[in-house]
């Protein structure tokens, strides 16, 4: 049990990916503190867990609400005696979909508030206890649009790209505190976001056809991202920090690749290839 007695805070726990992450961490012996906006779904999820230490709990909040986040993390700190070992930032929204010129700016800002500032709120709240203990792991979920342009999904792409750069920068700030920060690209998993693309019709542009095909054929298996997150939450990944790792395309299970992540500072990061600092070979 690689996460035995680890106290893990998981946001977006009631969603498709969140449920898989919760179950995989639960199987590995973690105590889970689940966060989402859906009381019924969180309750059902908690009841479905083994919860071997009978310490897991859930909290219904909107992570874009800074005060609610601060209050919730204080409650979790009390429950786990200041021992929050891992934070997994999985909560996120995709809308608005469509050309930027037609987007509602209120919807656009709401996306960034949840995807980016929600993640920031959570990290800022858990860091004091992690720094006091000189130990911790933070895992942020990236997504489509963070490594290349994603037409008609500007808000989502901007927020997720910002999360990756924030991950890289924060990792450097916290490495001396023995706190490791990484981002994970989950792959094309069939969740409610896929249904949202299909419902948006022509606003999704070329992604509409891809979404319909994936709806019929099935997307990437969510077990891959759950397994990667368990690895990053465990002691097996010690020293790996500031990376964006794909659960589907990267061979992160292999020792050779893990050594490259440890020793190559530019691997799995956002960089500009311009033949001045980084060569386009």
Query: For the chain, what is the radius of gyration of the CA atoms?
Result: 18
Residues of the chain with pLDDT > 70, as a percent, come to: 96
> What average pLDDT does range 229-234 have in this prediction?
98
pLDDT at 129 over 80: yes
How far, in Å, are 70, 148, 162, 200, 232 from residue 127 at the CA level? Answer: 11, 30, 19, 38, 17
**Which three-class secondary structure state does DSSP give residue 28?**
coil
Greatest pairwise CA separation for the chain in angstroms? 55
For the cut 90, the answer to whether the pLDDT of residue 178 exceeds it is yes
What's the mean pLDDT when you consider all of the chain? 92
Q: How far apart are the first and last CA of the chain?
A: 43
Q: What is the mean pLDDT of residues 224-231?
A: 95
Instruction: Write out the E strands in the chain.
Output: 7-11, 31-36, 57-60, 86-89, 136-141, 179-185, 244-246
Q: Which residue has the higher pLDDT, 191 or 148?
A: 148
**What is the DSSP code (8-state) at residue 146?**
S
Q: Which of the four CATH numbers 3.40.50.300, 3.10.20.30, 1.20.1600.10, 3.40.50.720 does domain 7-189+220-263 have?
A: 3.40.50.720
In this prediction, residues 214-228 reach a mean pLDDT of: 82
Active site residues: 156
Domain ranges of the chain: 7-189+220-263
pLDDT tops 90 at residue 42 = yes
**pLDDT exceeding 90 applies to what percent of the chain?**
75
Instruction: Round to whole Å and give the CA distance between 234 and 18.
Output: 18
Whole-structure pTM over 0.85, yes or no?
yes
Cα angle 143, 68, 127; round to 5? 65
Is the pLDDT at 201 greater than 70, yes or no?
Answer: yes
Q: Average pLDDT, stretch 44-71? A: 95
Residue 145 Ramachandran class (φ > 0 left, ψ -120 to 50 alpha, else beta): left
β-strand pairing of 179-185 with 244-246? parallel
For CA atoms 206, 98, 145, 45, the dihedral sign is: negative
Which residues face 86 on adjacent strands?
8, 137
């Amino acid at each position: 049990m690689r996460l035995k007695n680890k106290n893990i805070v998981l946001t977006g726990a009631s969603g498709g990916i969140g449920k898989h992450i919760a179950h995989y961490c639960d199987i590995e012996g973690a105590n889970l503190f689940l966060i989402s906006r859906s009381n019924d779904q969180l309750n059902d999820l908690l009841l479905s867990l083994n919860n071997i230490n009978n310490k897991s709990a859930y909290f219904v909040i909107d992570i874009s609400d800074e005060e609610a986040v601060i209050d919730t993390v204080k409650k979790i700190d009390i429950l786990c005696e200041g021992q929050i070992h891992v934070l997994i930032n999985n909560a996120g929204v995709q809308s608005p979909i469509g050309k930027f010129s037609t987007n509602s700016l209120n919807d656009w800002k709401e996306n960034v508030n949840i995807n980016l500032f929600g993640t920031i709120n959570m990290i800022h709240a858990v860091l004091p206890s992690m720094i006091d203990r000189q130990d911790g792991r933070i895992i942020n979920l990236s997504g489509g649009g963070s490594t290349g342009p994603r037409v008609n999904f500007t808000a989502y792409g901007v927020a997720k790209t910002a999360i990756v750069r924030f991950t890289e920068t924060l990792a450097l700030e916290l490495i001396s505190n023995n706190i490791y920060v990484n981002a994970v690209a989950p792959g094309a998993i069939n969740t409610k976001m896929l249904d949202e693309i299909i419902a948006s019709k022509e606003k999704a542009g070329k992604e509409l056809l891809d979404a319909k095909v994936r709806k019929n054929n099935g997307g990437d298996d969510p077990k891959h991202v759950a397994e990667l997150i368990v690895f990053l939450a465990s002691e097996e990944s010690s020293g790996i920090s500031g990376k964006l790792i794909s659960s589907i395309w990267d061979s992160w299970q292999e020792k050779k690749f893990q050594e490259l992540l440890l020793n190559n500072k530019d691997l799995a990061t956002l960089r500009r290839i311009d033949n001045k600092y980084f060569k386009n070979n």
